[in-house]
Structure 1
């Protein structure tokens, strides 16, 4: 996938490619099969909602916190069938990994896609990966938006989404003492190298709480190999984590780390619906990798400042 592409995939989180400046969205299996057979797909052109993030982010605050904060404000249907355009100073300084995370969770606000205008950071990422020419598209100066929303994120804290919706967000300072049974760091949302580095920064020299299972899942084999080269996997294993090969596994309640009745988990995944990771009476709290790692150490939902 390259900037300017129109991308469809049979997974709702296909919108991740919007971080490259592509129009990417998930479709049903029938539409996907038709697209593969004919090379065509039908869309209603979505309205756009412009999200402007002002200010610079505090330590331990990353793209996951920006998108959770946004979903908490808009609601899980606040951008229904819209294109979420992420702009502003805070986006300008985000890494590609954080941009992928934000685009990935556009669907959690009901959006058709999330998109970020390509800049120098995007082009540096694409340069050694693109295998064909691409085209950069930008919004017209007089573009009309269904809505423009401004956020001052200079004082934003790490966010935690409470069960059972991604919109149930709270800053970490307002989270009460909630014991947990499991932590999952990974998935298509936060299984990238930046995420593993952030988790390792918290876990290095520390031990996972004896009553917590910590599962770490690199997003791809290449990320896994790079994490090995950097010594991150050793940090995780020494801390007492179980490190898996890349898989969706626990995110969708498929295998590995399936929650039992009454269990609570902190996860860097994208959804925390009823029964998402196991028993319908289990609970999933969404957070960034630093919060997840700190929670694994403390045995309760905790911020990295409590640990590091």
Structure 2
């Protein structure tokens, strides 16, 4: 799906998954390779499935369910919600279920290989863009959209514009990639990447944990997705084209980066 026009990573992934040549601003319906659901929204998700007249998810092998947001249950009401979730997982026969204490959803999704590079993954948490750590188009959605994805195995998106963030140099001792992404947020602003796809260049060889930090923090800029370019997991085609058009470009020099502090109400 080249179309002879240079594409950003977001445009490439959504062109490939939708089966047609698309550009920023186009509306697409795309299949999802995985849906992540966590405990805090399961009641609303189940209600959404009922409203759609769907008793079962479209493919249990592509659904990951976690109890990690309110774990252990802080109130009797939440404990009952967890009970309902357990019953739903058993009834749906979802094989990929992580109960309270087994880990944090986004780290497990990436580290256990549930995120396929170059595909669209949706999750019921705003930091589902963390899946861009391995080159996936990860997007957080509300309960209704997650219910639709669970029922149909697809979702709709507006192809986002992209922002290019390039890193140069090497971090000094005591400075981390959390400092780097906080500097990026400072440069772009807490709503400066609203509904954009943020591409990170020059850091594809970082450890997964650092890449998760970068991709997941794009939420704090209002981004729809955050994708690290050139990761070891990415296929050969998953690179932005030379000459791709970006909404904005930002360069961060890691050699001179100082420790960053977020002072409320700013990130």
Which interval holds the TM-score relative to the shorter structure?
A: 0.5 to 0.7
Give the drift of 1:21: 0.3
CA distance in 2, matches of 1:44, 1:2: 21
Q: 2:136 aligns with which of 15, 22, 26?
A: 22
1:98 equivalent in alignment to 2:199: no
Q: What is aligned with 2:180?
A: 66
Range with bigger deviation, 154-163 or 20-29: 154-163
Q: 2:243 aligns with which of 142, 150, 164?
A: 142
Q: What is aligned with 1:108?
A: 220
CA distance in 1, matches of 2:129, 2:204: 19
CA distance in 2, matches of 1:114, 1:95: 16
Q: 2:230 aligns with which of 113, 118, 135?
A: 118
Q: Would the aligned equivalents of 1:3 and 1:136 in 2 still touch at CA under 8 Å?
A: no
Give the drift of 1:165: 2.1
Taking structure 1 as the reference length, what is the TM-score of the superposition?
Answer: 0.48
Aligned to 2:158, what secondary structure does the other structure show? coil
Q: 2:255 aligns with which of 154, 158, 162?
A: 154
Q: What is aligned with 2:116?
A: 2
Give the drift of 1:103: 0.5
Give the drift of 1:146: 1.1
CA distance in 1, matches of 2:134, 2:257: 25
Q: Would the aligned equivalents of 1:53 and 1:151 in 2 still touch at CA under 8 Å?
A: yes
CA distance in 1, matches of 2:182, 2:257: 11
Taking structure 2 as the reference length, what is the TM-score of the superposition?
Answer: 0.55
Gap change, CA 1:92 and 1:7, over 3 Å in 2 = closer
Give the drift of 1:94: 2.4
Q: CA RMSD in A?
A: 1.6
Give the drift of 1:92: 4.2
Gap change, CA 1:2 and 1:135, over 3 Å in 2 = farther
Give the drift of 1:136: 5.1
Q: Would the aligned equivalents of 1:21 and 1:136 in 2 still touch at CA under 8 Å?
A: no
How many residue pairs get aligned? The number is 153
Q: Would the aligned equivalents of 2:166 and 2:200 in 1 still touch at CA under 8 Å?
A: yes
Gap change, CA 1:47 and 1:85, over 3 Å in 2 = same
Q: Would the aligned equivalents of 1:63 and 1:101 in 2 still touch at CA under 8 Å?
A: yes
CA distance in 2, matches of 1:28, 1:165: 24
Please list, as runs of the form range in 1=range in 2, the aligned pairs for 1:29-108 lying within 5 A after superposition.
Answer: 29-88=143-202, 91-108=203-220
